[in-house]
């Protein structure tokens, strides 16, 4: 018999965070989070997302052993401002037993109905900067800190519960050598001259900080038209600034500004921390921090995390400036592979942007929907 209990204590929350460590203990592809950071992201007093969203966390037990988990989430900005009556759920992991996955999803369903929501969709996080989608192809590729990894049986559990596909995502990879400067070096010069633009590179995180609010404003403006987009609030900007920006290698953040120093484009690339996180195994100390700091400077894989371009400059070749700068940085750092985080399969514009690099799709993932 499966029993589902809501997480009420810090010790229960830690069990929630640590469950995947046992579920994926034999997987060479799963990448563990830092336990302390994961705990903090679920802390209502620390993560400002809880000012506009709420979440309940559940653990499934059988014979006093944890066999599954799920986070049931309502983003009230999405519900009230966008009119999307969506019940979100994420951090959904379970053993290969439909009784377990059903018991957890029933909890999500019940909360959605109690709040007069119209449908449930997952796996998704709190916002657009969180992880998204259940992996459906590419199980033999290592995960990363930007995405969830899961066992192949997950997809059948969604479908057995009556879900239908809501969104499809792809993840691609290409050798850094494919980023031939001949593809964009000439365009880089022409575009900068035509629009009066210039690139900005950084060596210190402190030099980036005065620009971070402008970057998030541009992020909100760049992605506003996407149907699933929920804007980042001012309070969240401060949180992300503190949590992420100072840790990213500043050489991997590129800005483009106009003649008045208005930010018109940005790109954030992250060195891959996957192998370092596997070595850390959820703990920063005593040695985990050293693995992460080494990867920050020396990882041979680079993950394209975010690219934002002001609507006024979209489809005008501004990416040639960004790619030209990354070419020099990657060459200096000895980067071998470039990896793209999940992108909507039907986002033709973003695919066109990458086509000259001959990317290969290595993973596919989906979110699933069920009407309530």
Query: In this predicted structure, what is the pLDDT of residue 230?
Result: 75
Structure token pair of residue 71:
């986070």
Cα–Cα distance, 293 to 38 (Å, whole number): 19
In 10 A of CB 81, how many CB atoms?
A: 12
Nearest CA to 267 out of 226, 215, 205 is that of 215
pLDDT above 90 for 222: no
Query: In this predicted structure, what is the pLDDT of residue 128?
Result: 75
Query: In this predicted structure, what is the pLDDT of residue 228?
Result: 65
The fold for domain 3-171 equals Aminopeptidase (3.40.630)
Lowest mean pLDDT: which of 1-15, 103-117, 187-201, 339-353? Answer: 339-353
Structure token pair of residue 29:
């592809």
Whether 362 and 138 have beta carbons less than 8 Å apart is answered as: yes
The string of pLDDT tens digits covering residues 63-81 is 999 999 999 999 998 999 8
What does each C-alpha distance from 111 to 87, 98, 120 come to in angstroms? Answer: 8, 20, 10
Domain segments of the chain as ranges: 3-171, 175-362
Query: In this predicted structure, what is the pLDDT of residue 195?
Result: 96
Mean residue pLDDT across the chain: 93
Query: In this predicted structure, what is the pLDDT of residue 229?
Result: 73
Q: How confident is the model at residue 247 (pLDDT cuts 50, 70, 90)?
A: confident
Secondary structure (3-state) at 327 = helix
Query: In this predicted structure, what is the pLDDT of residue 347?
Result: 84
Q: What angle, rounded to 10 degrees, do the helices at 319-333 and 185-195 form?
A: 130
Q: What is the bridge-based pairing of β-strands 198-200 and 164-175? A: unpaired
Highest CATH level, class, for 175-362:
alpha beta
The string of pLDDT tens digits covering residues 313-356 is 988 999 999 999 999 999 999 999 999 999 999 888 788 888 88
Cα–Cα distance, 22 to 274 (Å, whole number): 18
Range 339-358 burial, b when 16+ CB lie within 10 A, else e: bbbbbbeeeeeeeebbeebe
Average pLDDT (194-198) is: 96
Equal fold, 3-171 vs 175-362? yes
Contacts of 271 (CB under 8 A, 6+ apart): 249, 252, 295, 296, 297, 298, 299, 301, 302, 303
Structure token pair of residue 290:
């050293």
């Amino acid at each position: 018999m499966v029993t589902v209990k809501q997480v009420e204590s810090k010790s229960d929350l830690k069990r929630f965070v640590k469950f995947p460590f046992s579920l994926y203990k034999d997987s060479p592809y799963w990448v563990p989070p830092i336990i302390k950071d994961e705990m903090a992201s679920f802390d209502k007093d620390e993560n400002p997302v809880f000012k506009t969203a709420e979440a309940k966390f559940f653990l499934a037990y059988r014979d006093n052993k944890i066999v599954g988990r799920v986070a049931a989430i309502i983003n009230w900005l999405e519900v009230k401002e966008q009119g999307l009556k969506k019940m979100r759920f994420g951090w959904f992991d379970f053993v290969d037993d439909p009784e377990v996955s059903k018991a957890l999803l029933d909890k999500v369903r019940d909360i959605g109905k109690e709040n007069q929501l119209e449908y449930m969709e997952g796996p998704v996080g709190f916002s657009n900067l969180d992880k998204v989608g259940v992996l459906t192809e590419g199980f033999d590729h290592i995960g990363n800190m930007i995405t969830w990894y899961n066992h192949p049986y997950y997809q059948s559990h969604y479908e057995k519960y009556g879900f239908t596909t809501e969104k499809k995502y792809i993840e691609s990879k290409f050798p850094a050598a494919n980023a031939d400067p001949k593809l964009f070096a000439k365009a880089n010069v022409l575009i900068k001259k035509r629009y009066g633009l210039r690139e900005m590179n950084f060596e210190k995180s402190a030099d980036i900080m005065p620009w971070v609010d402008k970057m998030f404003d541009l992020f909100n403006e760049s992605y506003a038209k996407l149907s699933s987009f929920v804007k980042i609030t001012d309070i969240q900007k401060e949180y992300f600034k503190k949590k992420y920006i100072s840790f990213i290698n500043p050489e991997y953040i590129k800005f483009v500004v106009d003649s008045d120093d208005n930010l018109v484009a940005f790109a954030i690339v992250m060195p891959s921390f996957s192998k370092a996180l596997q070595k850390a195994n959820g703990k920063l100390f005593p040695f985990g921090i050293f693995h992460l700091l080494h990867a920050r400077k020396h990882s041979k894989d680079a993950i394209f995390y975010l690219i934002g371009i002001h609507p006024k400059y979209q489809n005008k070749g501004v990416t040639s400036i960004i790619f030209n700068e990354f070419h020099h940085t990657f060459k200096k750092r000895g980067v071998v592979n470039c990896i793209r985080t999940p992108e909507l399969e039907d986002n033709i514009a973003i695919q066109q942007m990458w086509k000259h690099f001959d990317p290969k799709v290595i993973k596919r993932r989906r979110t699933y929907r069920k009407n309530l």
